[in-house]
Amino acid sequence: MLENFEGRHRNLLEIFEARSIEMEDALSPHAALNKTQRCLIGAYFLHEYSFEASALFNPSIVHHPDQSGAPAGGCRFILSLRAVGEGHISSLTFRAGSIGPNGNVTVDPTARLASIPKIGSRTARPDGDDVEVTFRAGDDLSERVIFPVTDAQSNGIEDARFVEFTHNDRTTYYATYTAYSGRAIRSEILETSDFLTFRMTPLTGSAARNKGMALFPRKFDGRYAMIARQDNENLYLIYSNDLYNWEGGQAILRPEFPWEFVQIGSCGSPIELDDCWLLLTHGVGPVRKYSIGAVLLDKNDPSKVLGRSREPLVRPEPHEREGYVPNVVYTCGAMRHGNQIILPYAISDTFSNFATIKIDDLMRSIVDE
């Protein structure tokens, strides 16, 4: 076994031993086993899984919590991606990289191995488990894979929309995502400060029953705010005193142009500009063609729509329209860097790319309401 697999995994005997312990109740009673026998039993109840063999898509981007080594005039970032493997099971994976002073993007080389976290705690809640997972500090960021760990997530952790949330001079990284069981979906939220330990918690309330919730990066008058799609067509603004419970909401955006007539949704958390909020949206048009547009919201009252793009910022180009799901460009979150928007986006649910947009050019493309 070691000759076949040791070069493909770190601490392989520890993995075999841990799996043997997990199988103890299912296999007992049995005679006492030595270490070699326990490791062999663990190996029989394991298999390798290529977590991103089918697709690597729907990225979001935030500043790296560790800016050491950032280029002069630039910054370091963390990219989250939805990875899909055999059986269309989605997991959450990461990349690190740098943005230069002119907006040029460089992604760090990926590690050869992958690792899954240890479950640190699991708290039962009426609406589902609250789970904390932790990676080893020595694992490269690109090694870290958050694979489904609850029944509600059993078929996927989908489309994480990361945001740097600032409150009382403290930054926490949150990500809203869709947990998919194979039969039902629900919205959940992930929390981390270091991308080593993550807490995943179900969201509750009437406004948290659909996909694509996106959290604002700060509070408004002491309340959290979220953009969400409650009815499979329009976008709503929701406020809550509680990060985990969301009720009601006000419809602020409806499909208006041909490229978004089927439905609209959020493409990540709103981005704070000098005088307003930038909300990137996705629109679904004829033949389920997905494009990315933009909306401007009032800085102090985001229920007020200041303007929106009549035409998409990014749409599937002819050479980009084939893939796992054709005719789709999609993002789960962009970020501001100086006078530019850095936009990672997925192409046909297969692979991901970057676009950069100057904010002045973006503003000129948006029509006042």
Q: What is the pLDDT of residues 45-61, one digit of tens each?
A: 999 999 999 999 999 99
Are residues 28 and 97 both part of a single domain? Answer: no
**Tens-digit pLDDT profile for residues 181-225:** 999 999 999 999 999 999 999 999 999 989 999 999 999 999 999
Q: What is the pLDDT of residue 345?
A: 98
Are residues 19 and 76 both part of a single domain? Answer: no
Are residues 75 and 203 both part of a single domain? Answer: yes
* pLDDT higher than 80, residue 369: no
Are residues 182 and 280 both part of a single domain? Answer: yes
Q: What is the pLDDT of residue 232?
A: 86
Are residues 101 and 207 both part of a single domain? Answer: yes
Taking residues 332-351, what's their average pLDDT?
96
Q: What is the CATH number of the domain that holds 119?
A: 2.115.10.20
Are residues 28 and 139 both part of a single domain? Answer: no
* pLDDT higher than 90, residue 230: no
Q: What is the pLDDT of residue 133?
A: 97
Angle at 268 between CA 323 and CA 217, to 5 degrees: 160
Residue span of the structural domain in which 252 resides: 49-368
Are residues 249 and 310 both part of a single domain? Answer: yes
Are residues 25 and 62 both part of a single domain? Answer: no
Confidence at 349, pLDDT banded by 50, 70, 90: very high
What global pTM score does this model have? 0.95
Question: Mean pLDDT lowest for which of 92-101, 311-320, 351-360?
Answer: 311-320
Domain count, the chain: 2
Are residues 144 and 20 both part of a single domain? Answer: no
Are residues 131 and 269 both part of a single domain? Answer: yes
Are residues 61 and 38 both part of a single domain? Answer: no
Q: What is the pLDDT of residue 319?
A: 83
Are residues 34 and 163 both part of a single domain? Answer: no
Per-position b or e across 126-144, b if 16+ CB within 10 A of its CB: ebbbbbbbebeeebbbbbb
